[in-house]
A and B are shown apart, each in its own frame.
Chain A
């Protein structure tokens, strides 16, 4: 997914205000970057089609709100960037740890136990 500058600004604005119609978005963004109401309307429509905004009709106008929370979206982007650990063996990042939701707690505990044993062994070795 790619986002243009305006799309990004609209998304940031809606994350801040939670909900707005095209006129409100235009009023806010035209202060800093200009542009017509039509441009804002088509940007909102594009973001809606990308699944990033939800909308409902109120009177004659659509009221837009973010379909995904800011941090959930950023979390998804981080996951996309570090995808190799999920479904792509040839990813191009080097991550400190893997992303996986299904590492069993008992297996992690076993590893923790192993670390503690080794730590104690090395401390004994150092003291001797």
Chain B
């Protein structure tokens, strides 16, 4: 019997091999995923001279923690962060207020309007943002709304709210209608059935939608890039982009800004990891 046949016949052996391969692959993948981040961290702690050293310095350099202070005080980074947090939070709240009832209505009730609205939601998800941002840019431009946070919130909500509807609808769909029926026979009004029964039961799905919507808003580039021209409304991705394009900004500062820009993402992922995965899979 050849090695391959022997392996094929022994299920336990296959599983052991699989686990070994899994551990190796996981290790490699983690290195692949984290090396760029760690390298950026290293770069952010170097002096300007050290960043352009050739060949690059891996260790043994003077750690400049003050780079982080420098990038915080010398650039508009704090403003970018504030803008980003504000826009993301308001957009998410707005999307939830609009989207959750919408999802409930399509999921629990049948109507032609409901079907049409589902079509509308699906179409919105397929349209490339750049295409719809062309007219939006010109409309906002003539309304003098360029470079305002309000404009960006309005635009982003339009993109993210259908997304929320999609995810939350999936969550409602999987819940049994009998929950509502029994609540109604117990004397609930339709609205009470909605917010007292369905929402608490579907909370994981709603949290998934919330987390992903927030992240998408925080990280989105195009809508901010086009609709914001100055620090009043620019967010972190655009800020880092501008820093990187400016040939006078040294790489250690750019990296420091990048690292700071990652922190909210990391925080959200660590806390809400379960919901993010759920939301991704629901697609």
A and B associate in one complex:
no
